[in-house]
Chains A and B, each alone.
Chain A
Amino acid sequence: MPLAFLAVFFAWPLGAILHRSLVVDGSLDLPFDVLTASSTREIAWFTFWQATASTVLTLLAGLPLAWALARFSFRGRSLVEALVLVPFVLPTIVVATAFLALLPDGVERSIWAILLAHVFFNVAVVVRVVGAFWAGLDERLWDAAATLGAGPGQRQLRLTFPLLAPALASAASIVFLFCFTSFGVIVVLGGIRYSTLETEIYNQAARFFDLRTAAALALLQLAAVAAVVVVSGRLERRLGGARRPGRPTPRPTGRRRFAVYGIVLTSVALLLLAPIALVLRSLRVGDGYGLDHFASLFDETPALLVTPWHAVLNSLLFATAAAVIALAVGIPAAFAVARGTRGVDALLMLPLGASAVMLGFGFLLAFADPPLDLRSSVAIVPLAQALVATPFVVRSLAPALRARDPRLPDAAAVLGASPGRVRREVELPLLARPLAVAAALAFAVAVGEFGATVFVAQADRPTVPVAIFRFLGRPGADNVGSAMALCVVLMALVTVVALVSQRVLARGSR
């Protein structure tokens, strides 16, 4: 099933555009000259090292908060868990504007601005994916280690990191792929001096229409991504600790309390600095403050064919459909991955690493005619979003599935529970938290998706990111104000959906 989805919506269009780019008069024209050019080497090296640096920094920034959220319960924990998803959905150009206003002069349009933005956008992946796994580890292991005389440093080094390895590899590989194929951040915050493989593919394909060069670079990028996926898959298969349900996490006490609250408050403050700047801008009317920009979301505007409010409804509809498709494809895929079916995981990760513009071009070629005349259909929007969201579902579920204790369902069955009851009362509760993460991440990815959506969305069915883009494309205070108000709506939307999915699935687990 997942493979069929992948074949139709990924392999086929990609094959179509590669065929068009590389087959000239029936014979294959392999672009070795492009691959060996020194400019290609430079771009590939920059792409690699900035992605590596971004990933390391994102892990360092995200782990303390993942620890605090996973090991302790405190008032407002689920709100914090929902809030970390906010940066994830914000359009790059909007965050870039906020960053440019906040960053000191020398830093803007430099490599530091790129790294900082990558950390900001991706820290949610580390916090949620590692956090969900961490929460499922049996904390008595640490107590045992302490009893046996292991110091704090030794406990981290010999216990925490080995146990977390699968989730760390999982999160790191997603972050790395995101930074490796990063587009908006490089173009907007880096200025015009930096290029990665993805930005160069975009330039060659969409702007210079040199499909041969674009295809060569796209193949190089795909190969690099495949290598990363295989390596991280190996790492991840080193099994983590046994999981055990039902032990409530403690409230932090003593010195721990300062550490936990300190980490949570600092992280949240840093993460929300840019969003708060956006909220303030959305409220600024002339020299004062007011709700005018929010009120005008219900009015007609020359920037769109519908009111901005319709864009909010479209986003809700498309992203929900996309999340459902991503879960439908991702859950069986995660089971297959957990069973050890090699390759499924790697294949599903590939869309993350494929060049968006080449895939978009492929859609135009492959879905031109009946029976799959999709390029002019509304359904193409959630399908494209689902393609991007599915890897997140797999990555949030697979480590948890692999680490679950297979004896628990067996024990329940031996005790006489029917298969349905085993699933309902044993398997699902064990998976509730990772499932909530998967659903929330899938929705967040889909609702914030811009690159593919703007390519396929019709003018009278814009999503919120597309509407923001249209407003920012026009001069005038009201247009900027509407864009900022829509950003705030987008942030609120993803926070609410994340909270609701936690509540619903938490109830299901009781």
Chain B
Amino acid sequence: MRSVAVWCKVALAVTGAVTAAAFAAGCGGGSGAPKEVVLVTHDSFAISKAVKAAFERESGLRLRILQGGDANEMLNRALLTAGDPQGDVIFGIDDSILSRALDGNLLEEYRSLGLSALQPDFSSPDPHVTPIDHGEVCLNYDRAWFASHRIPPPRTLADLVQARYRNLLVVENPATSSPGLAFLLATVATFGDRWQAYWRALRANGVLAVDGWEEAYTQEFSGAAGSPGKRPIVVSYASSPAAEVIFASKPLSTAPTAAVEDGCYRQVEYAGVLDGARNEKGAKELIDFMLSRRFQADVPGSMFVYPVRQGVPLPEQFVKHALVPEDPLSLPADEIDANRDRWLAAWTDIVVR
């Protein structure tokens, strides 16, 4: 019995110390002017160390980044804590979920002066959000596979139902993956009312649907470096071929994969000031910074998406190997909002059941 008492004392001391440390960490900088600004974002967010340091130097604020889940999961966490948010700025809301953020009264209005420097496509958003970057979800294919099998790679979405592309395509589940949803929207935008017939034909032609981008690209797609996959066509991004070159183990002159121009769907990513932010002024400074030339020029290299600001040059590898679709598909946010759940249910019935 004695020994129990001793263990309890040790345990109590340890827990006490931990709790004290937690308090110290949690309450740091509790009063006075805020010394930090907190960015709530998704798993794909990235920023160069030098660019982050530049913001911290110019603003005098520490930038703290909280990541977790994809864009949709990030938004749901923000909705859960609406009014008493985890951070000051939220970044990574795209068109397919924008209406839910607006309906949830999650964001405060803010019009950054930087908006005037954006490309015309992006310069007049809803007053609650600021566009930061855009990326295109496109079909990618494995060049070597198509060359060695002497089959021409697909050029349009409609090609994919042909017999010669049987069992070659892997896609993401649109209910659980953001590129998966973008691809579903691309088929709706392309085929209109006939999109369900198109997916039935895809299923008959052996399409494989997996949970998310990681499974599709790194496990099932044959063109990704080091992948055990056997399928040479995947739903990924217009910039993925450039990434294969930039992160190759040895220098490559041509990309091992290529993106298909037809059927590319545009995702614009927005930032907004969270309602109830502890540091509202810092939040606005951060959004201004995200529109600055410096941050915009960093966006391709760190997140593999494209800048929205005018006249920001792309890195050389992007110019050479990434596709910048001329006329990407998109659907109006209110149409997506009115139909999303119905479309997802129909897709699940066609492809999963």
Contact = CB atoms under 8 A, between A and B. Distances in A.
Interface of A: 1-2, 5, 20, 93, 96-97, 100-101, 187-188, 191-193, 203, 205-207, 209, 281, 284-286, 292, 300, 302-303, 305, 321, 324-325, 328-329, 331-332, 335-336, 361, 364-365, 368-380, 382-383, 419, 423, 427, 454-456, 458-460, 469-470, 472-481, 484
A193 B352 contact: yes
Interface string B239-254: 0100110111110000
Given A302-B46, A368-B84, A376-B66, A475 B27 contact: no
Contacts of B250: 285-286
B211 A374 contact: no
B26 A379 contact: yes
B312 interface: no
Nearest to A186: B211
Contact of B8 (A20, A206, A332, A454): A332
A19 to B, nearest CB: 13
Nearest to A192: B173
Contact of A370 (B12, B30, B86): B30
Contact of B248 (A192, A300, A456, A478): A478
A474 B304 contact: yes
Q: Which 5 pairs from chain A and chain B are nearest by CB?
A: A476-B247, A477-B225, A379-B22, A459-B65, A328-B11
Contact of A477 (B176, B228, B248): B248
Contacts of B213: 473
Contacts of B187: none
A479 B244 CA distance: 10
A1 B15 contact: yes
Interface residues of B, number: 73
A484 B227 CA distance: 12
Nearest to B229: A100
A30 B52 CA distance: 47
B2 interface: yes
Contact of B73 (A188, A206, A374): A206
B26 A372 contact: yes
A285 B80 CA distance: 45
Given A192-B211, A328-B15, A376-B64, A474 B226 contact: no
Nearest to A424: B3
Contacts of A207: 72-73, 76, 175-176
A473 B218 CA distance: 9
A365 B80 CA distance: 8
Given A5-B15, A203-B176, A292-B249, A480 B225 contact: yes
13 contacts: A2-B11, A93-B214, A302-B302, A305-B65, A328-B15, A332-B11, A365-B81, A374-B26, A377-B25, A423-B2, A459-B64, A475-B240, A477-B249
Interface string B1-13: 0111011101110
A325 B215 CA distance: 35
Interface in B66-96: 66-69, 72-73, 76-77, 79-81, 84, 86
B80, B81, B86, B250 — which one has the most chain A CB atoms within 10 A of its CB?
A: B80
Interface in B178-231: 209-211, 213-215, 217-219, 224-228
